[in-house]
Amino acid sequence: MYQEESPCHYRRALEVVSSKWTVLVFYELEQETLRYSNLLQRIEGITKKMLTQTLRQLERDGLVHRHEYETVPPAVDYSLTSLGLTLIEPMRVLHRWTDAHYDSVLESRRKFDSAQEHQNNPKKN
């Protein structure tokens, strides 16, 4: 069983995937190779700094391939590596869970928060 193995290992691995922008970059690259500026446009709210940082991380982890064309001005495009492709299915599973259960999470939060309210303002009951 998975319980017997190092949970730290597991946790560190999750970090590969769970940073704020990683999922969104992955999301775009899953469909097609894209250039830096394409990614910048498509991923709403991301800054150059964060995009670069995220791509570097993914490249370092071997999940994304960076291809630089020797042109002026420079052009660079990014695509998933074969290792990156293996992550798509696990991410889909998580995505499916999201679709199926995220409403329940939101619902639970509402209940929890209003319960907290009643704790703090038990006046009008």
Which residues would be at the binding site for DNA (CB under 7 A)? 19-20, 35-38, 45-50, 52-53, 55-56, 66, 73-77
Within 59-88, the residues that bind a copy of itself by CB under 8 A are: 59-63, 83, 86-87
Q: Decide: is 105 part of the binding site for a copy of itself (CB under 8 A).
A: yes
Q: Whole-angstrom Cα distance, residue 94 to residue 88?
A: 10
Query: Does residue 124 touch a copy of itself according to CB under 8 A?
Result: no
Q: Which does 123 bind (CB under 5 to 8 A by kind): a copy of itself, DNA, none?
A: none
Q: Do the beta carbons of residue 56 and residue 37 sit within 8 Å? A: no
Q: Among a copy of itself, DNA, none, what binds residue 83 when CB lies within 5 to 8 Å by partner kind?
A: a copy of itself
Relative to beta strand 75-80, strand 64-69 is antiparallel
Strand order in the sheet with 34-35: 34-35, 75-80, 64-69
Does residue number 39 form part of the binding site for a copy of itself (CB under 8 A)?
no
Q: Which does 70 bind (CB under 5 to 8 A by kind): DNA, a copy of itself, none?
A: none
Residue in 46, 41, 39, 38 with CA at minimum distance from that of residue 19: 46
